[in-house]
Homo-oligomer: A and B are copies of this chain.
Amino acid sequence: MPGGTDQTLRPFLWRAANLYSDTEIVSRNHDGMQRYTYSEYEDRTSRLANALDEYGIEEGDRVGTFCWNHSRHFETYFAVPSIGAQLHTINPLLPDAHIQYIVDNADDRLIFVDQSLAPKLASAVADADGDEFADVEFVVMGSEESEHLEATPYESFIDGQDTDYDWPDIDEEQPAGMCYTSGTTGNPKGVEYTQQMLWGHTMATLTPQGIPMADDDVVMPVVPMFHVNAWGMPFSATAGGSKQVFPGPSPEPEDIASLIENEGVTISAGVPTVWLGLMEYCSEHEVDLSTLETVIVGGSAAPKSMIEWFDDQGVEVLHAWGMTEMSPIGSVSHLKSDLQDADYDTQLEKRGKQGLMVPGLEFKVIDENDEEIAWDGEEFGELWVRGPWVTKEYFKRPEANETDFEDGWLKTGDVVTVDEDGYIQIVDREKDVIKSGGEWISSVELENAVMAHDDVAEAAVVGVPHERWQERPVAFVVPGEGVDRGTLVPEINEMLADEYPKWWLPDEIEFIEEVPKTATGKFSKKDIREEYADQSLVEGQVPEDAAPDRD
């Protein structure tokens, strides 16, 4: 059989550790700043691999992480997949019930957890109805034990292990990573990333059409490493031999600003909320952004005002679009060469779109009549994508696999236009998830919870634009007949607070007479948004230019 060796992640580590042995990895850890080289990183990663072996982790086992962005988390990124196991990054901001579900669904054997997140995980463990955590053990990141969980400290876990490891040859179809996506209905759906998917994603994102990184770059992913591998940046930065900077637990704008200044960050990435925070911080403090060349904005649309602000600082904003199902990068809004001479407004309009699909992917846009739309920036339909790093199925979810995939295409659920230049723009979405500070809130789940109150006849929850968080949930409630509206609002709030994290709770609860419906009787979120967009509760809070483009 002709063909080369399998496409796996480990040679990226080999390259960095050998060609860039002295290049630094800098991390704001729970226990202080950590600063070491790729050579030391390789040693510690090998020690972790030996520790995982000794613990009994075998090929195909799933190992969870419940962590922010830091160097120890990064060590799991290469160690776990490169021994043939699967790295399952768990989003610690999910409600307990979702955490319980996904640990059970993924059958994690071991979970690495941050000190600061141990209480949250302990709560999910304590509240578990069944045996979701029965076979799971914990390693807490750092040198200290946890007060909240029975867990081995990470430094004890790897202590005394050999700094060499005889890495096995791994099949490229071996699952190497895993991440759950929050849908609108039901439980989160797991997406597995094979070695090959992560390899292809790494290479494709390093091209000029993606997010190229080289040995003169200093790369800082602010996007959490529990969000689809921080958009793959820890892998691509390693392959490119870049210095890496990890901003640690719950980074504040001040932390981000000082890391950019002190470490000479050239490329960073995060959701708009992160950059709005930095912009606000810079308006009140003297911050030197002179090393910064590129800011990747994703998760929600990049407001034009943000692109302009960074342009003024000499920093290029690249708007990237992707999905958990796509490992995650799909398109990047590079300005095409023949638009370099266009007027600034035209350029801004193009750069604010979801962008141009990177090499290796294909897409088509299917309208309600199952026809492909014209690329005229006006017709719209559902975006379908396929490619080597686009999943073809969800993990153990046959019912979703029936509806969300067709002939190898992923039906994204996003409704888009495509203009004459090939730029994709999301104009609506079938899924009505609410994107709040880079996190997704299921509107349908909140609606169902609100409607569980006896005095509620109907309720719809939609995301409304929010300057800092992009979107916040607002509940529109039709009360039952004769209900005391004065007591209903606090009752609903109290009920939701019992079940959901604080950031899931609607900012406002408004009474309406009826929830508008579509022809098929479904709630029409689009109509709600249009009808109530100028409601006094929302009006005036949201400068138009800070709102996401999508709605």
* A interface list, Cβ under 8 A from B: 1-7, 11-12, 14-15, 18-19, 169, 173, 175, 192-194, 196-197, 199-200, 202-204, 206-209, 212-216, 239-241, 334, 336-338, 340, 356-357, 359-362, 375, 386-393, 395, 408, 421-422
User: Nearest 7 CB-CB pairs, A to B?
Assistant: A203-B203, A216-B337, A2-B192, A19-B422, A239-B359, A208-B214, A206-B207
Looking at the complex, which one of B4, B200, B202 makes contact with A387 (CB distance below 8 Å)? Answer: B4
Using A19-B422, A203-B207, A212-B208 as known contacts, say yes or no to A391 and B2 having CB atoms under 8 A apart. Answer: yes
Residues of B within 8 A of A360 (CB): 7, 11-12, 199, 203, 239
A3 contacts across to B, CB distance below 8 A: 173, 194, 196-197, 391-392
A197-B3, A216-B337 in contact; A359/B15 too (CB < 8 A)?
A: yes
Residues of B contacting A421 in the complex (Cβ-Cβ under 8 angstroms): 19
Q: Pick from B1, B18, B196, B203: contact of A204, CB below 8 A.
A: B203
How many copies are assembled?
2
CA distance A19 to B332 in the complex (A): 13
- A205 → B minimal CB distance (Å): 9
7 contacts between A and B (CB under 8 A): A1-B173, A2-B193, A2-B395, A5-B386, A203-B359, A216-B340, A239-B359
Question: A404 CB to closest chain B CB, in angstroms?
Answer: 14
Q: Are A359 and B215 in contact (CB under 8 A)?
A: no
Q: In the assembled complex, which residues on chain B have CB atoms less than 8 Å from the CB atom of A204?
A: 203
In Å, the complex CA distance between A202 and B336 comes to 21
A387 to B172, CA, bound (A): 12
- Contact: B173 with A4, CB < 8 Å? no
A386/B4 contact (C-beta < 8 A), A203-B203, A337-B214 known: yes
Chain B proximity of A425: nearest CB distance (Å): 15
Q: Report the Cα distance A216→B339, complex, angstroms.
A: 11
Which residues does chain B contribute within 8 Å of A239, judged by CB atoms?
Answer: 207, 359-360
Output the nearest chain B residue to A190 by Cβ-Cβ distance: B2
Tell me the bound Cα distance from A454 to B360 in angstroms.
59
A208 and B11 alpha carbons, distance in the complex (Å): 17
Which of B5, B357, B393 has a CB less than 8 Å from the CB of A19?
Answer: B357
Asked if B362 contacts A14 (CB within 8 A), the reply is: yes
Which of B169, B206, B386 is in CB contact (< 8 Å) with A359? Answer: B206
In angstroms, Cα B388 to Cα A12, docked, is: 12
Complex: A393 Cα to B240 Cα, angstroms = 29
**A207 and B200 form a contact (CB under 8 A):** no
